[in-house]
Structure 1
């Protein structure tokens, strides 16, 4: 930059203000999109109720009151309840929350407008997944801290396995949420997502363990994502052992749901 003698005004070199169109860097776009999704999630009161307050109430109630059966070898109820409530928290945020949010994003044209930007579709999905992982991390801190205050004593050697299960479970439920939220109308997604959440809560191996379910249902529960995650976390926190069958079940659900979602997800 220089100045002209006549006016003393600044003179810029040719091309200084020439537009340079192009998309931003992938990490920057991912961070911005994930931050927006996290802000939208934490801003909605109904999302906070679903992802944090209800699991927190169930954690305290099921740990203090004798309202659900627990195995005979469990000395403290919270040792059996806490891992299953963590599984419920993952299902609430990654599946139900993501499905409803995606359904209404499609209804109001948000997804269509985002798809018209430089944000690739795969990065759009990845941003939602990163946001879900952040929300799950907040849930684990709050629910885990409350469980510890109630007397929960997890095995330290199982923390790495529990982390793997939490991440795999978030990916699996997130893919299922995209599959549901990307294929149906918003009103149908809202109803169906809550129905599935309620059914899996009661009959999916979370509140009631497989041993207390009817025979045919008990045989199916370990192959459901809810049952696999709950049983896997129970094994990791109580016994310090990473059970690989639940990881395989969650991975299979994640791959299958992702493959179907890529074919059925609509922008509007």
Structure 2
């Protein structure tokens, strides 16, 4: 039942043009633009090429786009149109409804990672094998973390409110959440706060894996805490209608 439900959720996600726009086309455009154009401050690059600096952060953005923004909006409108209520009346238990969405998010993230990885490789990106091996579980954990946050948002508010807030949060985290600007370049305590956000933790964890080939314990712990807290709150606040 889990695989069937996950397959349906994945198919529905991939059919929505607006979902494809925010989950793939926007990250892909940013990957190309930031890699080819002289936009990234030289002080942030250090000895790295632009594509090596950009790719881990764009992968973090892709996870946030599909697992958080996409899932939140989809759940909000599914509640509005009675889809969740009808599904809850079937033999599917509530935990399986959530698990199916998370598995679908993992499938979409895997597709995103493959497409973005291939494009980045064509632009000159060449991470180590060990770095990729470390990045895979980070992507999974990041998907679970943002997926739980997406369910928390989409399951508690009206669809119109979810649509507005999900997109606002996406833009804020993109610009000031540790994705386009590393926490280390932000002033004072702001950098410390951003490093504790799921966006900053995932971006820094992927950078450590794909650039340095190391496993960063701090980002993993941060993502695990966000996942546990968001999942616990979502189970109490998610509504069927």
* CA pair 105-75 structure 1, distance change in 2 beyond 3 A: same
Cα distance in 1 for partners of 2:40, 2:181 equals: 7
Alpha-carbon offset, residue 153 of structure 1:
1.5
The higher radius of gyration belongs to 1
Aligned to 2:29: 57
CA distance in 1, matches of 2:119, 2:13: 22
Q: 1:56 & 1:86 partners in 2: Cα distance?
A: 10
Q: Please state whether the residue corresponding to 1:117 is helix, strand or coil.
A: coil
Once the two structures are TM-superposed, the CA of residue 210 in structure 1 deviates from its matched residue by 1.7
- Say if 2:155 and 2:237, in contact at 8 Å, map to a contact too: yes
SS in structure 1 at match of 2:126: coil
Q: CA separation in 2, counterparts of 1:63 and 1:164?
A: 25
How many pairs were matched up?
A: 240
* Structure 2 residue 215 is matched with structure 1 residue 215: no
Greater relative contact order (Cα < 8 A, sep 6+): 2
Where is the helix percentage greater, Structure 1 or Structure 2? Answer: 2
Q: Return 208-217 or 143-152, whichever deviates more.
A: 208-217
Q: Which runs of structure 2 are paired with 1:50-129 in the superposition (5 Å)?
A: 50-70=22-42, 71-129=44-102
1:251 aligned residue (204, 224, 227): 224
- Tell me if structure 2 keeps the 8 A contact 1:84–1:230: yes
Measure the CA separation in 1 of the matches of 2:48 and 2:234: 43
**1:44-63 C-alpha deviation (Å, 9 max, x unpaired):** 00000000000000000001
Q: Which runs of 4+ in 1 moved over 3 A?
A: none
For residue 197 of structure 1, what is the aligned residue in structure 2? 170
CA distance in 1, matches of 2:183, 2:223: 17
Matching residue within 104, 123, 145 for 1:150? 123
CA distance in 2, matches of 1:83, 1:232: 9
RMSD across aligned C-alpha pairs, in angstroms?
A: 0.9
Paired with 1:169 and 1:211, the residues of 2 have a C-alpha distance of 20
Structure 1 alignment gaps of length 5 or more: 1-28
Instruction: Give the alignment's TM-score, normalised by structure 2.
Output: 0.98
CA contact (8 A) 2:63 2:139 kept: yes
TM-score (structure 1 length as normaliser): 0.88
Q: Closer, same or farther in 2 for the Cα pair 1:191/1:72, shift >3 Å?
A: closer
Matches within 5 A, 1:6-45: 29-45=1-17
